[in-house]
Chain A
Amino acid sequence: MTQTNQDIAVAIETAHSQPSEPESLAAALRAQKIDVELIEPTASFPAVVKLNAADWGNAAAAASAAKWRWAGVWADDCVSELKVYSCLQKNNTYLILQTQLRPGQTGLTSQAPYFWAADRPERHTQDLFGIRFEDHPDPRRWTRHQAWPQGSYPLRKSFPASGLSQAETAPDHEYPFLEANGDSVYQIPVGPVHAGIIEPGHFRFQAIGETVLHLEERLGYVHKGIEKISEGRDPAGLARLAGRVSGDCTVAHAWAACLAMERAAGFEAPPRAAFLRGIMAERERIGNHLWDMAALCNDVGFAFAYYQFGRLRELWLRENQSVFGHRLLMDRIVPGGVISDISSQTNRLMRESVTTIRGEVNELLTILDYNSSLEDRFIGAGMLSVELADALGALGFVGRASGQTFDARAHIPYAPYDSLQVRVPVESQGDVASRFWVRYKELRESFHLIEALLDTMPYGDVSLSWQAPAAGAQGFAAIESWRGEVLCFVRFDGDNAVSRYWPRDPSAVNWPALEKLVLGNIVPDFPVCNKSVNASYSGHDL
């Protein structure tokens, strides 16, 4: 059947007459007599709904009712005013809510009563900006331990980056943990230094016998002021810093920062650079999934698989080194493109290793399938229900093992994924086994994507020279990392200097899921539950 011009015209007309998702939300707010201004999306920024500070919570209530996913909040000290943004996502659209606080005005209604995910990010914003979120269900501090005193706010422009005191920093104390009382209930404090080669954080378990009744995370130990020290950097310097928000996610964070900066500056990296970035991102996913699969097996005492997956990961990292010049691919993505090209020889090399490693992974999965002792430990451990994952807005393999379909590569695609079909594996069982299985399926998809990218790689430059953006230019980007969606906001001052950098690692969203999924499990299963989530401490603490 062929479409006539008239049919097409009707189709376009219908599409135009349907209100967009941001328009629908704006209309819903106006119906409640809320004063809003809708700003259409641009090449550098999604649609924006501007609100009064008093309506900040109401907007979240309406967004929650309309099934938007809450993705992050950040503030920006513009000296004359404090701008506050929160990011929502629905279907194939991002929407930014924006409000501003006048000097001296610090109160804002909270969005946390309507979105679970807003809890800690709002407390982080409170600790670093001094914005008081009224009606917030949890008034405790979060990122602030003792590195700066109560009542001073590091992300205010007036706060010196060097801090207020050079004295030794006391350990954190008097954090009001939830306490459980009752016969046989006891408390297990763990960390910040853990008993392995792992990042630091504190876990407070309430247990009865072997069973976990409650888990409370206390993070912020590796807060190293990333948002503050980004101020004044040039684009290349910001890309390096972004690549170290979370070392295992270096490609995704550097890419997100570069894309946001390129959008702010109003230009696009060449197509070949986008393809190379895509290959690196998929390679990052594969390397990390292989390592996670190794560590998950190790945590339940299955040494065979630990060594086998670890072996494949090492070979993969060595190929990163030989093709791109760095085992973890740090500093390969730069503003305007990537630092080096691949040859037809390295193209062939990567294709061949994909074929080999895919065969090996499939062979290992067959062996794993025959080992019921592994299944005994994985199946039913660390259950995160579909409903809970949805309420939390869980991302990446954590969300996808619990029925969440979102993947920025597929739903809000950016180059090179806008020219590819990305299949998103989704499971609904929500246990450790499911998160292991989703990783395996994601490996397969990444192998396929690398082949597709290598096959269809366009010719041309791999970078463009940087064009300084106008003062005040800002950009927003979302990149699907191996852990899930990475968000990034960048605003420039004059002189090509960054004034505000806000990265949002998916870990910020997924950490609360661990508190939920471990409940009812035995304490000795915590390591494998934790590993199955594998949230980043550094990416969360910033």
Chain B
Amino acid sequence: MLSLYGKIIKTGMLTEKLLKLPEDQSVIHAGQTLKAVIDKSFQGSVAIRQVDAGSCNGCELEIHALNNVYYDIERYGVHFVASPRHADILMATGPVSRHMEAALRRTYEAMANPKWVIAVGDCGACGGEFGISYASRGAINNIIPVDIVINGCPPAPIDLMRGILNLFSTV
């Protein structure tokens, strides 16, 4: 047990200040806006339901990384939830496979209003490498209305963070 505590103390605090990450003034501005919006409109916390509607799983890996000690997105009041009923934001990835079309739509419909949709990744934005085919419907907004798109293949965690911040700067 002592070695466990030793490791914790030795590792120290790693969560990075947004200032330390490669970014510009707009992020700081968006960060301040985000905190203000979340504090005011969401009582300090906003909930995201993530749905993979056909991705290659690359986006999922980077969304997961938002919860690691370096980004620790929960400290800004952003957390991921297991049910669409609990969610303010739907974060969807992938070109929408036809087999997930109904599931994506139903998840969206299960969310209470007001709600926002973030399409993540080049596939979510436009169908990406997969495009539209007999098996794929392409972009997320071909199925449900999208409020903001985060490009990248996959977008890095910092890009995801900026995307969420940008959502609120447009709200």
User: Which A residues lie at the B interface, using CB under 8 A?
Assistant: 145-148, 154, 159-164, 168-172, 192-193, 195-200, 220-226, 228-229, 240-241, 244-248, 250, 291, 304, 307-308, 310-311, 313-314, 317, 321, 327-328, 330, 363-364, 366-367, 370-371, 536-538, 541
With A and B bound together, what is the CA distance between A307 and B72 in angstroms? 10
With A and B bound together, what is the CA distance between A424 and B99 in angstroms? 38
Q: A240 touching B56 by the CB < 8 A rule?
A: no
Q: B55 touching A220 by the CB < 8 A rule?
A: no
Q: A154 touching B103 by the CB < 8 A rule?
A: no
- Collect the chain A residues with CB atoms within 8 Å of residue B4's CB: 304, 367, 370-371
**B135 beta carbon closer than 8 Å to chain A:** yes
Chain B residue with Cβ nearest A240: B129
Least Cβ distance of B158 to chain A in Å? 10
With A and B bound together, what is the CA distance between A248 and B61 in angstroms? 8
Q: B68 touching A241 by the CB < 8 A rule?
A: no
With A and B bound together, what is the CA distance between A367 and B7 in angstroms? 9
Q: B60 touching A224 by the CB < 8 A rule?
A: no
Q: A247 touching B69 by the CB < 8 A rule?
A: no
Q: A247 touching B154 by the CB < 8 A rule?
A: yes
Q: B107 touching A246 by the CB < 8 A rule?
A: no
Q: B99 touching A247 by the CB < 8 A rule?
A: no
Chain A residue with Cβ nearest B67: A310
Least Cβ distance of A99 to chain B in Å? 27
Q: Which of B56, B64, B101 contacts A197 (CB 8 A)?
A: B64
Q: Which of A160, A229, A314 contacts B68 (CB 8 A)?
A: A314
Q: B130 touching A145 by the CB < 8 A rule?
A: no
Q: A222 touching B52 by the CB < 8 A rule?
A: yes
- Collect the chain A residues with CB atoms within 8 Å of residue B67's CB: 310
Q: A367 touching B83 by the CB < 8 A rule?
A: no
Least Cβ distance of B70 to chain A in Å? 5
Q: A248 touching B57 by the CB < 8 A rule?
A: yes
Could you list 13 further interchain pairs (A-B, Cβ under 8 angstroms) beyond the known A162-B134, A244-B128, A364-B7?
Answer: A146-B98, A147-B134, A163-B135, A192-B100, A197-B63, A200-B51, A228-B133, A229-B133, A247-B60, A304-B4, A311-B14, A311-B70, A363-B7
- Collect the chain A residues with CB atoms within 8 Å of residue B128's CB: 244
9 closest Cβ contacts across the A-B interface?
Answer: A247-B58, A163-B134, A225-B135, A195-B82, A147-B98, A171-B102, A247-B56, A169-B98, A244-B56
With A and B bound together, what is the CA distance between A108 and B8 in angstroms? 61
With A and B bound together, what is the CA distance between A193 and B92 in angstroms? 11
Q: B54 touching A224 by the CB < 8 A rule?
A: yes
Q: Which of B57, B82, B132 contacts A538 (CB 8 A)?
A: B57
**B97 beta carbon closer than 8 Å to chain A:** yes
**B1 beta carbon closer than 8 Å to chain A:** yes
Given A161-B134, A308-B11, A363-B7, residue A244 in contact with residue B52 (CB < 8 A)? no
Q: Interface of chain A, helix or strand or loop or mixed?
A: loop
Q: A162 touching B3 by the CB < 8 A rule?
A: no
Q: B3 touching A370 by the CB < 8 A rule?
A: yes
- Collect the chain B residues with CB atoms within 8 Å of residue A241's CB: 129
Q: B103 touching A171 by the CB < 8 A rule?
A: yes
**B94 beta carbon closer than 8 Å to chain A:** yes
Q: A314 touching B99 by the CB < 8 A rule?
A: no
Q: A193 touching B7 by the CB < 8 A rule?
A: no
CB-defined A-B contacts under 8 Å, sample of 29: A145-B98, A146-B98, A147-B135, A163-B133, A163-B134, A164-B134, A172-B99, A197-B63, A200-B51, A200-B100, A221-B99, A222-B100, A223-B97, A223-B135, A224-B130, A224-B136, A225-B134, A228-B133, A228-B134, A228-B135, A247-B57, A304-B4, A310-B68, A311-B11, A311-B68, A313-B65, A314-B69, A367-B3, A367-B7
- Collect the chain B residues with CB atoms within 8 Å of residue A310's CB: 65, 67-69
**B131 beta carbon closer than 8 Å to chain A:** yes
Given A197-B50, A311-B69, residue A192 in contact with residue B103 (CB < 8 A)? yes
- Collect the chain B residues with CB atoms within 8 Å of residue A147's CB: 97-99, 134-135
- Collect the chain A residues with CB atoms within 8 Å of residue B116's CB: none
Least Cβ distance of B119 to chain A in Å? 16
With A and B bound together, what is the CA distance between A317 and B65 in angstroms? 10
Q: B57 touching A193 by the CB < 8 A rule?
A: no
Highest count of chain B CB atoms <10 Å: which of A193, A220, A228, A246: A193
Chain B residue with Cβ nearest A225: B135
Q: A538 touching B134 by the CB < 8 A rule?
A: no
Q: Which of B59, B62, B99 contacts A146 (CB 8 A)?
A: B99
Given A162-B133, A240-B129, A307-B68, residue A199 in contact with residue B57 (CB < 8 A)? yes
With A and B bound together, what is the CA distance between A113 and B6 in angstroms? 56
With A and B bound together, what is the CA distance between A154 and B134 in angstroms? 8
Q: B129 touching A197 by the CB < 8 A rule?
A: no
- Collect the chain B residues with CB atoms within 8 Å of residue A363's CB: 3, 7
113-144 of chain B: CB within 8 A of chain A = 128-137
Q: A314 touching B134 by the CB < 8 A rule?
A: no
Least Cβ distance of A533 to chain B in Å? 15
Q: Which of A192, A224, A311, A537 contacts B57 (CB 8 A)?
A: A537
**B18 beta carbon closer than 8 Å to chain A:** no
- Collect the chain A residues with CB atoms within 8 Å of residue B52's CB: 197-200, 222
- Collect the chain A residues with CB atoms within 8 Å of residue B53's CB: 200
Given A229-B130, A311-B69, residue A224 in contact with residue B97 (CB < 8 A)? yes
Given A195-B83, A311-B11, residue A246 in contact with residue B135 (CB < 8 A)? no
B77-108 Cβ-contact flags toward A at 8 Å (1 or 0): 00010110000000000110111111100110
With A and B bound together, what is the CA distance between A311 and B15 in angstroms? 10
- Collect the chain A residues with CB atoms within 8 Å of residue B50's CB: 196-197
Q: Which of B65, B133, B136 contacts A314 (CB 8 A)?
A: B65
**B146 beta carbon closer than 8 Å to chain A:** no
Q: B100 touching A197 by the CB < 8 A rule?
A: no
B26-70 Cβ-contact flags toward A at 8 Å (1 or 0): 000000000000000000000000111111111111111101111
With A and B bound together, what is the CA distance between A228 and B130 in angstroms? 10
Q: Which of A192, A229, A246, A308 contacts B56 (CB 8 A)?
A: A246
Q: A247 touching B97 by the CB < 8 A rule?
A: no
